[in-house]
Structure 1
Amino acid sequence: MAGLWRSYQVLMTKYPWSVQIVTAGSLVGVGDVISQQLIERKGLANHSIQRTAKMMSIGFFFVGPVIGGWYKVLDKLVVGGTKTAAMKKMLVDQDYTDALIANYYLWPPVQIANFYFIPLQHRLAVVQIVAIAWNSYLSWKANKM
């Protein structure tokens, strides 16, 4: 596991943008697999590969570039790594009123910790790891009959 992390770190240093996007897409896909297999209990025979691919595409082409880009902008808007800066980043990050109501209990604490403890190049991965549960829920909610 340590070797895998070191390899990830090397790739992140060489190709930060690409690795963040691939990480985002992969983790959104993991969220869908968890949704289909653990929440919906579809079983492997009924697993929708098309649905997982669609969710991964959202991660690759929207979540990775848009959220990753947003974090870069946010780091320029609010400079620093103090607790106060982390709080300010979290407040600016919550500027989506429709989504704010649905995920208010999850994302503010995650983002405060993310902006305070996590280096910029790893923030997208941290959010995507936490978002596996959120994406599983959203995938289930969007696809329930």
Structure 2
Amino acid sequence: MAALWRSYQRLMAQHPWKVQILTAGSLVGVGDVISQQLVERRGLRGHSSRRTLKMMAIGFCFVGPVVGGWYQLLDRLIPGNTRMVALKKMALDQDYPDALLTNYYLWPAVQIANFYFIPLNHRLAVVQVVAVVWNSYLSWKANKL
């Protein structure tokens, strides 16, 4: 596992933007698989690969570039990583007009820790790991019958 992490770190240093986008798309896909298998209990026969690929495309084409770019912009607007800076970044990050109340149970704490403890190149990956749970919830919510 340590060798895998070192390889990831090396790739992140060489190609940060590409690796962040690939990480985002992959983890959005993992969230959908978890949703279909553990939440919805579809089983392998009932699994919609098309839905998983669609969710991954959203991760590759939207989440990775947009959220990754947003973090870079936040770092330029509010440089540093003190507690106050992390709080400011979290407050700006949560300013979405369509934000659901449910999001506030999870994301403010995650983002404070992310902006305070995590280097810029790894923030998207941290968020996407947490987003596996969030994406599972969103996928379930969006695809409820």
Residue 54 (1) aligns with residue 54 (2): yes
Counterpart of 2:29, as a letter, is: G
Alignment of 1:1-145 (within 5 A): 1-145=1-145
Structure 2 residue runs of 5 or longer lacking an equivalent are none
Counterpart of 1:118, as a letter, is: I
1:97 deviation in Å?
3.0
Q: How many equivalent residue pairs? A: 145
User: 1-side partners of 2:100 and 2:112: how far apart?
Assistant: 15
Evaluate the alpha carbon distance shift between residue 48 and residue 100 of structure 1 in structure 2; reply closer, same or farther with a 3 A threshold: closer
Counterpart of 1:73, as a letter, is: L
1:31 deviation in Å?
0.1
1:29-85 per-residue CA deviation (whole Å, 9 max, x = no partner) reads: 000000000000000111100000000000000000000000000001111110010
Deviant stretches of 4+, over 4 Å? none
TM-score (norm 2): 0.98
Evaluate the alpha carbon distance shift between residue 100 and residue 80 of structure 1 in structure 2; reply closer, same or farther with a 3 A threshold: farther
User: 2-side partners of 1:75 and 1:60: how far apart?
Assistant: 22
Kept in 2: contact 1:94–1:100 (CA 8 A): no
User: 1-side partners of 2:100 and 2:74: how far apart?
Assistant: 17
Kept in 2: contact 1:89–1:115 (CA 8 A): yes
User: 2-side partners of 1:21 and 1:44: how far apart?
Assistant: 27
